[in-house]
Amino acid sequence: MRDERTSKILGKAATYSLYIGSYFIVALLFAFIIRKEFYDLSDVDAGYPLIASLLVYNVSFLILRWYFGRKGE
């Protein structure tokens, strides 16, 4: 059973990690555009950016859940 505090912490951590992950993906896309257009380098394999994106989402969620749970609102 989840109480109200736990639900609030999980919701807040999920929202913030979504923002962090979205900004990371936008920054990654800009880096790829700059790499392709200005430096004329080849395209990057899609596997590594996908793994990096998943790691950013999951690790930021875990850290934020721990931080908000420890903070004690």
Domain definitions of the chain by residue range: 12-71
pLDDT of residue 16: 97
User: Which CA distances in Å does 3 have to 9, 36, 64, 70?
Assistant: 10, 49, 18, 16
pTM above 0.85, yes or no: no
Enumerate residue ranges in the chain where pLDDT < 50.
none
pLDDT of residue 72: 63
pLDDT of residue 57: 96
pLDDT of residue 73: 56
pLDDT of residue 3: 87
Instruction: Determine whether 13 is exposed, middle or buried from the number of CB atoms within 10 Å of its CB (0-12, 13-18, 19+).
Output: buried
